[in-house]
Amino acid sequence: MNARLPETSTIPERIAALRAAMASTGVDAALVPSADPHLSEYLPRRWQGREWLSGFTGSVGTLVVTKDFAGVWVDSRYWVQAEQQLAGTGIQLMKMLGGQQSAPHIDWLAQTVPAGGTVAVDGTVLGVASARALAEALDARGVKLRTDLDLLDAVWSGRPSLPLEPVYEHVAPHADAQRSGKLAQVRAAMQEKGAQWHFISTLDDLAWLFNLRGADVNYNPVFVAHALIGPDQATLFVADGKVPADLAQSLARDNVRVAPYAQAADALAALPGGESLLIDPRRVTFGLLQAVSSAVKRVEAINPSTFFKSRKTAVEAEHVRATMEQDGAALAEFFAWFEAALGRETITELTIDEKLTAARQRRPGFVSLSFATIAGFNANGAMPHYRATPDSHSVIEGNGLLLIDSGGQYLDGTTDITRVVPIGTPSAEQKRDFTIVLKGTMALSRAQFPRGIRSPMLDAIARAPIWEAGADYGHGTGHGVGYFLNVHEGPQVISHYAPAEPWTAMEEGMITSVEPGLYRPGKWGVRIENLVLNQSAGTTEFGDFLKFETLTLCPIDTRCIDLAILREDEREWLNAYHETVRVRIAPHVSGDALAWLEKRTQPI
């Protein structure tokens, strides 16, 4: 195939090289998803091929390249960003609309590639469910699907190797449950499904199950691995040198064997015929499962560990509450500095990231950020996933709204919070937008609902005040959050864009974000986000009910509120929340931060 291109190459050069590689292998269309062999949200650099080829840096998007077309499909969260980053590359922005049930790039391929043509995608990064949908659509049009080619290797000369950061143990008191107990839970679930074996690829499931953490993926304390769970022994497939000898011995005491990462496929191929393998088709790749013999029965269900890790124990919940106090104290220190410095020194969106990160780093148990800080002033805040860069950022000056979405990874929990603060004098329309979003945040935060309700069904509660104002937003209202794990985890998701499947049921102990928004492109954006914990609300003759405990501890800026459209009960909720914030954070701050806290939590 062609010569591989260096990192200094341009996007058009990379696309041209990919087209040459396609031509040499008889491929009519190449599909490059935002995925790795573990179907992660945030990818190790080795598998960021869609970004390398297109220049679009958003976390979600799908690139399709043919002889005379290249396009990236993204949803409304990334339209503005993608339009800017794809400009001049020859790659088109393909807009995905909210609520689409099918994958539009699959429909496009089925309609565009001629009968007898070939579509190629690396099967090792293609989920089983996605592979089935793609194959079905292409087969109906007489188009061949190839999953045995990794065209990136043909053109990317500087492609990184597997990450080599060491794996470490998450130990007591931070880890509440023992590894042996978690393995027993999973094996019991396997037995219920009639499966002797269970294969897991999702990195946060592995980290939770084995009480291990790593640093292979930015912002998520996970490590690249696969695992095969058997009746008596488990095998962890991980790159050589990542597991220290003492940790390997600790794992061995729980009948966990460490094997080279590349041997996962061989282990699947060696499974005895007649026995059953439990897999989650949404969380395992097509390429790996091709190794499994047809004599092995496949049992398809959601990974049991996905359910177990979503339901935080009472001890974990206490740890998270303590972490929220530390995170809230860091925010109080930051905002005290910010308000004092505003107008006295130059502050940019990059400065906000730097200062807020430094405030968190001073807190006990801090490990890293939980995602890249979003600091968007005025028009930049209208892009939900905006990221300031040294080449493109705004100075915080004049009048308007500043949106800050940030979070931290601590040994005792994961945080994610969004606040909007006024710069200068906010307009009446900005205050109205802020208050409408606040009403949505409060409406869902105060809700009581049946245990087991499918989480997407709760979405309308937060949207109702926003819909009433004739507005809406193009992202979900809430996502699950891990315990010193991924800031985005399942199975629950509060979004009417998501299907209300049985495994999305709300259960006690789950931590979820509540983050409605309202965005006016080119002007400003508002999003107010807290994390909440599912708690029992008691039992009646109609069944068990749940309610939310708000975990996040940081004032909501009352200077942005249009008090005329707040009801009395909404004022009472906000005042009670601010009293809780003041009482819980005050012991952890002093001086300017304490003065700021007391000022910003005054009742309205």
From residue 10, give the alpha-carbon distance in Å to each of 13, 90, 155, 604.
Answer: 5, 11, 12, 55
Question: Token digits for 263?
Answer: 């041997």
Residues 6+ apart with CB under 8 A from 30: 18, 22, 64, 65, 66, 119, 120, 121, 151
- Give the list of residues 6+ apart from residue 266 with CB closer than 8 angstroms, or none: 291
Q: What is the pLDDT, as a whole number, of residue 436? A: 98
Nearest to 540 by CA among 443, 445, 448: 448
Q: What is the mean pLDDT of residues 377-402?
A: 92
Tell me the per-residue pLDDT of 103-150, one tens digit each, with 9 for 90 and over: 789 999 999 999 999 999 999 999 988 899 999 999 999 999 999 999
Going by C-alpha positions, the residue among 91, 53, 61, 55 that lies closest to residue 78 is 61
Size (the chain), residues: 604
| 479, pLDDT greater than 60 | yes
- For 11-155, which CATH class? alpha beta
Q: Mind listing the pLDDT tens digit for each residue in 484-529? A: 999 999 999 999 989 999 999 999 999 999 999 999 999 999 999 9
Can you give the pTM of this predicted structure?
A: 0.90
Phi, psi values for residue 228, rounded to 5°: -120, 115
pLDDT, position 97: 75
Between 396 and 60, whose confidence is greater?
A: 396
Report the mean per-residue pLDDT for the chain: 94
- Listed by start position, the domains of the chain span 11-155, 168-308, 311-600
Confidence of residue 102 (pLDDT cuts 50, 70, 90): low
pLDDT of residue 9: 86
* pLDDT level of residue 78 (50, 70, 90 thresholds): confident
Q: What is the mean pLDDT of residues 192-221?
A: 96
At residue 1 the predicted structure's pLDDT band, cuts being 50, 70 and 90, is very low
Whether residue 54 is predicted with pLDDT greater than 70 in this model: the reply is yes
Residue 3: predicted pLDDT: 55
pLDDT score of 6: 62
Percent of the chain with pLDDT over 90: 88
- What's the pLDDT at 333? 98
Give the DSSP letter string of 476-539: -SEEE--SSS-SSEEEEEE-TTS---GGGB--TT-EEEE--EEEETTTEEEE-BEEEEEEEEEE
Q: Where are the alpha helices (DSSP H) in 123-241?
A: 128-139, 151-155, 179-192, 203-210
Do residues 152 and 122 touch, judged by C-beta distance below 8 A? yes
CATH classification number, 311-600, choose in 3.40.630.10, 1.10.3720.10, 2.40.30.10, 3.90.230.10: 3.90.230.10
How do residues 566-578 score in pLDDT, each as one tens digit?
Answer: 999 999 999 999 9
- Locate 462 and state its tokens: 């937060």
CB 33 within 8 A of CB 62: yes
pLDDT at residue 477, as a whole number: 97
Beta pairing partners, 127: 285
Q: How far apart are CA 17 and CA 384, in angstroms?
A: 33
- Average pLDDT of the segment spanning 468-477: 95
Mean pLDDT across 419-443: 98
pLDDT score recorded for residue 75: 85
**Domain range 168-308, its CATH number among 3.40.350.10, 3.30.450.20, 3.50.50.60, 3.10.20.30:** 3.40.350.10
In this predicted structure, the answer to whether residue 158 has a pLDDT above a threshold of 70 is yes
**Mean pLDDT throughout 431-454?**
98
- Tell me whether the CATH fold assigned to 11-155 matches the one assigned to 311-600: no
Q: What is the pLDDT of residue 191?
A: 96
For residue 343, is it left (φ>0), alpha (ψ between -120 and 50) or beta?
Answer: left
Which tens digit of pLDDT belongs to each residue from 549-597? Answer: 999 999 999 999 999 999 999 999 999 999 999 999 999 999 999 999 9
